[in-house]
Amino acid sequence: MRTLLAVVIVPLVALAALAIAQPTVPDLPFHDSLRGTAPLNEEPKPPLIVPTENKDVIRGLNYAQQPPTIPHKIDNYQLDKNANRCLACHARSRAEESGAVPVAVSHYMDRDGTVSGHLSPRRYFCTQCHVPQADTKPLVGNSFVAVEDIKQAPKNQKR
């Protein structure tokens, strides 16, 4: 009987005591990384949006195979299934008169590698890959060096 009491009853009483006990509330306010310390029933003030860079200067790449960034504002550009405002300047037929960088030939290839005379549907929505830049300091440091910029040691020198 004592064994039954020690093995079954005592742990059950301990679990019941834990279940009845009230949880402790921390003294510090809850901090959510997206909401900050604003209570759930209040709308926090959103942070200011950093202005978009509008320098029309081609930026260097931050990693291999990076799509070029958009060096100008694209606010209110229509870019949907009915129209692509980017092509007003960047279409290969208009790039010379507008002075814009023409759409790459790779954007005219289908998934089988066949080049056609029109933009590939999978490359039609430019902002899937190309994005404008905010005029702010980077959030994360970057030490990328393009292959062309890596200097090789002379052949007669040992590494």
Report how many domains make up the chain: 1
Q: Determine, yes or no, domain membership for 137.
A: yes
Is position 31 annotated in a ligand binding site?
Answer: no
Residue 78: inside a domain? yes
DSSP string, 5-61: IIIIIHHHHHHHHHHHSPPPPPSSPP-BTTTBT--TTS-PPPPPPPPBP----PPPP
Residue 86 annotated as lining a ligand binding site: yes
User: Is residue 154 part of an annotated ligand binding site?
Assistant: no
Considering the domain boundaries, does residue 36 fall inside one?
Answer: no
Report the CATH number at residue 103. Answer: 1.10.1130.10
Residue 9 lies in a domain: no
Residue 124 belongs to some domain of the structure: yes
- Residue-wise pLDDT for 76-97, tens only, equals 999 999 999 999 999 989 999 9
pTM of the model: 0.61
Give the range with max mean pLDDT: 15-19, 56-60, 71-75.
71-75
Give the range of the structural domain holding residue 108, as residue numbers without chain letter.
Answer: 51-143
Does 10 belong to an annotated binding site?
no
**In-domain check, residue 61:** yes
Establish whether 126 is an annotated binding residue.
Answer: yes
